[in-house]
Amino acid sequence: MKSYALVVKKDCPTCALIEPVISQLSELHGSDLQVYTQDDPSFPEGISDVKDDSQLEFSYRNNIEVVPTLIELDGAEEHSRIYGWDKKQWQEFTGLEELGDGLVDFKPGCGSKTQDPGMDEILALRFGTSKLQARELSLAESEDIMEACFDRGWSDGLPVIPPTPLRVLKMLNGCDREADEIIGNIPPDNAPCSIEKLAINAVMAGCKPEYFPVVIASVEAALQDRFCMHGLLCTTYFSSPVLIVNGPIVKQIGMNSGMNALGQGNRANATIGRALQLIIRNVGGGVPGKIDRAAMGNPGKYTYCFAEDESDENWNSLAMDRGFQRQESVISLFAGDGLQPILDQQSRSPESLAKSMAQSLRSVANCKLFGLADAILVVCPEHRRVFMEGNWSKENLKDALYNELITPGSEVIRGADGIAEGMPAKFSDKQLNKFRDDGLHIVTVGGTAGMFSAIIGGWVASGERGSQIVSQKICSV
Amino acid sequence: MNSPTVLLDPTAELHASQRQILPRLSSLAGATVGLLDISKPRGKEFLDEVEKQLSEAGATVKRYMKPTFTRIAPTELNQKISVECDAVIEGLAD
């Protein structure tokens, strides 16, 4: 005699349709037919010993995707299964030629309750199949969950989303990496960090799971040796990671590269940048006033992430400057400070506008300091239009800026102009470049109205002795 | 819904709630103290003064230097200091 397990739910019209079939099978097989009901154990009527599977353990452990599902058992093991209602198939499967006579020939089943949105993670936690390994902290009943996160020192000063196991599991499902994979050592403590720890902090930052691949790439970028995250975190200077995203991922996850892109209001921009900061703080131990010695800091240390406007295909993106293709999704990290505007509403020629921008770029770190800090020139769309209408490429602009900024050392040495700060006297006979080679980067961002570009000045420890811009391909699911 | 709220620890879990510090030196007399210059400007002047005071207190002073202040000290340097010294003072600047 064959034995069977049958999984149904009352809410499913197909299950309701085959109620007489279930009675027929039950009469024939008795206890060799075990019926599991996902929603209401009074269903199906007339069957004794229906198993209440409202916790979905049987359904989950047996990967039920559709109800009804009829499983033929070989001892305790599954031999084979069918699902939905296909009269001929059920008759062959059970060997009962008259099974379901009088019913329609075919009616597809419904989704199993295990397939309801969000159930996968809930059931993985309920039945202990998740791979979460992080230390669990149980809050006292008297604790306010939001305040508890502040109390434990996990916050940048703003509220965080409490990292419950369910939220973390959902975040992990936003990537195809293993939870226990060690991505690297996070400075300044050089603490080994798993993908799971990144997910916990991404939850706290407010990320959606679909942002998580970008967060992972941002950490991989920050861990590149040439970025020098350790020193950047510890410095007394203003700087901190500035995250710039290029490629198809920008539109896929709804990042802002347009109006107010460097401001508030876009969840992806805001939370991806914040996630990296929280990872540095919580996993790396980079806490302001302790190892983070910034004299002032800058508001971007909460979050500083935006996408580049790539609406004009004739103007290369930052990622392309870094050797990637337009169709690749890439994140770049720059050790940068706040934002210094360049207002120019009069220039209509590339030459005039480039000179105007160069004048402002001279002020990075200090007008008298050369070759010390890198910079990003953030070009607004209206200024980009001036260059393109004048048939200038980005390279033309960069060359013009370099040339415009070459300055006799005698003008900027210490003491010149009655200012003690400046370049050491040994440079007095030299022609100086404001920026080192590969020290000036150009990005396009912003709304279509407003002839306002900007400068993101860089950390004064640039180049091999400090930080250099880094780029990392984003591998989305 | 009265089950306790469980959160996952976002930190590196490096630290127990309390961390033990290494035993302190009871006296500087006869001890070897390392001075680590982190390679920031004018670290030397500061550490020269520290060396002078340590020497007056009877300590032997050894000087070390990191290649750059922006990066952590190389493991070899840490090991050299730990082998050669009883205590170390890291000379921050600015």
Domain-located, residue A95? yes
pLDDT at residue B16 tops 90? no
Least confident of A210-224, A402-416, B22-36: B22-36
**pLDDT for the residue numbered B70:** 83
Total domains present in chain A: 3
Tell whether A351 is covered by a domain.
yes
* Secondary structure (3-state) at A107: strand
CB B61 within 8 A of CB B33: yes
Is residue A35 situated within a structural domain?
Answer: yes
Cβ–Cβ below 8 Å for B70 and A461: yes
pLDDT at residue A421 in the model: 98
Give the pLDDT of residue A1: 64
Q: Rounded mean pLDDT of A234-242?
A: 96
Per-residue pLDDT tens digits for A445-477: 999 999 999 999 999 999 999 999 999 999 976
Which of A306, A323, A346 terminates a domain? The answer is A306
Domain boundary among A306, A330, A350: A306
- Is the pLDDT at B18 greater than 60? The verdict is no
Q: Can you give the CATH number for the domain in which A91 is found?
A: 3.40.30.10
**How many whole angstroms separate alpha carbon A283 and alpha carbon B5?**
22
Contact B6 A139 (CB under 8 A): yes
A404 found inside a domain: yes
If asked whether residues A161 and A103 sit together in one domain, one would say: no
Q: How far is A240 from chain B (nearest CA, A)?
A: 13
pLDDT at B63: 96
A-B CB pairs within 8 A amount to 94
pLDDT above 90: residue B13: no
Q: Round to whole Å and give the CA distance between A272 and A179.
A: 19
Q: Any bridge partners for residue A473, and if so which?
A: A330
Contact B4 A467 (CB under 8 A): no
Q: Which two tokens mark A328?
A: 């690749």
* Of A399, A404, A385, nearest in space to A444 by CA: A385
Does B6 touch chain A if contact means CB atoms closer than 8 Å? yes
Domain boundaries, chain B: 41-91
Contacts of B70 in chain A (CB under 8 A): 228, 230-232, 235, 461, 465-467
**Cα–Cα distance list, A234 to A59, A122, A187, B69, B74 (Å):** 52, 40, 10, 10, 17
Q: Is residue A330, in this structure, part of any structural domain at all?
A: no
Q: Does the pLDDT of residue A102 top 80, yes or no?
A: yes
Q: Which domain holds residue A209?
A: 130-306
- How many whole angstroms separate alpha carbon A126 and alpha carbon A166? 10
Cα A30 to Cα A89, A96, A118, A164, A325, distances in angstroms: 22, 15, 36, 44, 65
Identify whether residues A111 and A149 lie together within a single domain.
no
pLDDT exceeding 70 applies to what percent of chain A? 100
Q: Same domain for A442 and A369?
A: yes
Mutate to test the interface with B, among A137, A172, A421, A467 (most CBs of B within 10 A): A137
Whole-angstrom distance, CA of residue A9 vs CA of residue A45:
12
Domain boundary among A117, A144, A160: A117
Among chain A residues, CA nearest to B7: A164
Q: Which residues from chain B sit within 8 angstroms of residue A149, using beta carbons?
A: 7
- Asked if the structure places residue A380 within a domain, the reply is yes
B71 interfaces chain A, CB cutoff of 8 Å: yes
**A270-284, A302-316, B38-52: which range is least confident on average?**
B38-52
Quick check: B14 pLDDT over 80? no
Q: Which long-range contacts (CB under 8 A, 24 or more apart) does A21-24 make?
A: A21/A90, A21/A99, A21/A100, A21/A103, A22/A47, A23/A47, A24/A96, A24/A99, A24/A100
Does residue A312 lie in a domain region? no
At A346 the three-state DSSP class reads coil
**pLDDT 10s digits, A138-162:** 888 888 999 999 989 999 999 999 9
In the prediction, which pLDDT does B42 show? Answer: 84
In the predicted model, what is the mean pLDDT of residues A365-390?
97
Distance CA A458, CA A274 (A): 19
Residue B2 is predicted with a pLDDT of 52
The pLDDT value given to residue A2: 79
Answer whether residue A441 shows pLDDT above 60.
Answer: yes
Instruction: Give the residue-averaged pLDDT of A90-116.
Output: 94
Could you tell me if A431 and A344 lie in one domain? yes
In a domain, A196, yes or no: yes
User: Mean pLDDT over all residues of chain A?
Assistant: 96
Distance CA A346, CA A159 (A): 44
pLDDT given at position A293: 94
pLDDT of residue A50: 95
**What pLDDT was estimated at residue A328?**
97
**What's the whole-number mean pLDDT along residues B31-40?**
93
Q: Which amino acid is at A335?
A: A
Q: Which residues contact B50 (CB under 8 A, 6 or more apart)?
A: B35, B89, B91
Strand intervals (E) in A308-459? 330-336, 340-343, 375-379, 407-408, 431-432, 440-444, 452-457
Q: For residue A100, report the phi and psi dihedrals to the nearest 5 degrees.
A: 75, 15
Rounded distance between C-alpha atoms, residue A355 and residue A358, angstroms: 5
Q: Which residue in the set A134, A193, A283 is minimally distant from B8, CB to CB?
A: A134
The rounded distance, in Å, linking the Cα atoms of A56 and A53 is: 5
Token pair for residue A291? Answer: 């190892």
**Domain shared by A240 and A218, yes or no:** yes
Q: Give the residue from A283, A290, A369 with the most B CB atoms within 10 Å of its CB, the best one to mutate.
A: A283
The pTM assigned to this predicted structure is 0.85
Q: Indicate whether A151 and A278 sit together in one domain.
A: yes
Which two three-digit tokens encode residue A295?
């004299």
HSE of A326 in the Cβ direction (CA atoms, 13 Å)? 9
Query: In the structure encoding, which two tokens stand for residue A76, read together?
Result: 């305790």
